[in-house]
Amino acid sequence: MPLSRFPLILGAAGLAIATMLPLQPGPVLAQGADPVAERQAGLKRMGAHGRAIKEALDNTGDLSDVASRAREMESFFRTLPALFPPGSDKGDTKALPVVWSERAGFETGAARTAGFAGRLATAAAAGDASASDSAFRELAGSCGACHRTYRAR
């Protein structure tokens, strides 16, 4: 390829990538949607999943439902930061200002939590009760760490 065409090809590749970025999955708030209500509903659902998973691991040993719940948790936590847009610190929210002032740490914590949920889903899908229990403890610890840092009591 002639060197004179390199910037043109590089620019076209960059444009192609940039146009695909909006197609990446993530929560899309409908116009006029309340991000506080959206995240509260999602986090309540995650809490219900966590309680159901704990019940299954502690009492029944039935992993059939654990994998799907953990996958939903993984997906939710990967997109959680988008539910905390600038200006959504007002109203009926327990989110602390540190969510926005130390955004990188918040995003890292959400990604870490998603990773633990993914490990739990993989272990449960494989039928590995011991690995599922270990992954759930990591997931629960990550949830607790986030609450201690980013949520008012």
CA proximity to 67, closest of 105, 117, 33, 2: 117
Q: How many CA atoms lie within 13 A of 85 on its CB side?
A: 9
109 vs 111: CA distance, rounded Å: 5
Is 146 within any annotated ligand binding site? yes
Is 147 within any annotated ligand binding site? yes
151 vs 136: CA distance, rounded Å: 21
Is 61 within any annotated ligand binding site? no
In terms of Cβ atoms closer than 10 Å to its own Cβ (0-12, 13-18, 19+), residue 11 is: exposed
Position 32, amino acid: G
Angle in degrees, CA 111, 89, 110, rounded to 5: 5
Which residue's structure tokens are 């019940």?
55
Binding residues: 143, 146-147
Binding residues for heme c: 143, 146-147
